[in-house]
């Protein structure tokens, strides 16, 4: 499946797509303590986005990450490591995926998890920042078919500003979390 290379208006069907992806994951993750969360722009009603569903499989401790990786491999996902983001294990979707999506395993409360949730929740609450972010994504959308890295980097400063405005990720201040990151 070729990744979508456009920023489009919000589509309420994205919630349905997430539910379908979640339903596919459920039998493979049965018995493993976890929560499956819809994160990223498609989880924010009213926000323009690439039609790619971002999914976090959130486990309560780092020692459960290997089991989650094994179970997702059994579901047809290919583990791709952290892709340069500590605390987030990324996966290529199965060949038979119905909806294009990005899947990650994160430890509850670690920086990667908090960044996803803090940004999502802030954009849900702030119409002004939601609009700023949509404008920036549309300005950069031409890069999606030629240089996705430049697209992501072009959003980076605004994303960091929005996370900071929303209170930032607090994982670094939580020494009780075993997330594999230095305090």
Two tokens at 41?
Answer: 């722009």
**Strand segments (E) across the chain:** 35-39, 53-59, 78-79, 88-92, 101-107
Q: Extract the residue ranges of the chain whose pLDDT is less than 70.
A: 1, 169-183
For the chain, list the domains and their CATH numbers. 13-171 (3.30.460.10)
Determine contact, residues 143/151, Cβ cutoff 8 Å.
yes
Q: Identify the pLDDT of residue 183.
A: 24
Q: Identify the pLDDT of residue 176.
A: 37
Q: Identify the pLDDT of residue 113.
A: 96
């Amino acid at each position: 499946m070729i990744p979508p290379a456009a920023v489009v208006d919000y589509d309420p069907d994205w919630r349905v797509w997430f539910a379908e992806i979640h339903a596919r994951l459920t039998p493979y993750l049965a018995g493993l303590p976890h929560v499956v969360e819809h994160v990223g722009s498609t989880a924010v009603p009213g926000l323009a986005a690439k039609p790619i569903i971002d999914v976090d499989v959130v486990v309560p401790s780092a020692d459960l990450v290997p089991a989650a990786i094994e179970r997702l491999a059994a579901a047809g996902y290919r583990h791709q490591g952290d892709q340069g983001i500590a605390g987030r294990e990324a996966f290529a979707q199965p060949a038979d995926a119905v909806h294009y999506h990005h899947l990650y395993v994160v430890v509850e409360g670690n920086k990667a998890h908090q960044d996803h949730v803090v940004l999502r929740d802030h954009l849900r609450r702030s119409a002004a920042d939601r609009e700023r972010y949509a404008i920036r994504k549309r300005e950069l959308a031409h890069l999606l078919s030629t240089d996705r890295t430049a697209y992501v980097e072009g959003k980076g400063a605004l994303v960091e500003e929005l996370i900071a405005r929303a209170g930032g990720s607090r994982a670094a201040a939580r020494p009780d979390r075993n997330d594999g990151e230095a305090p």
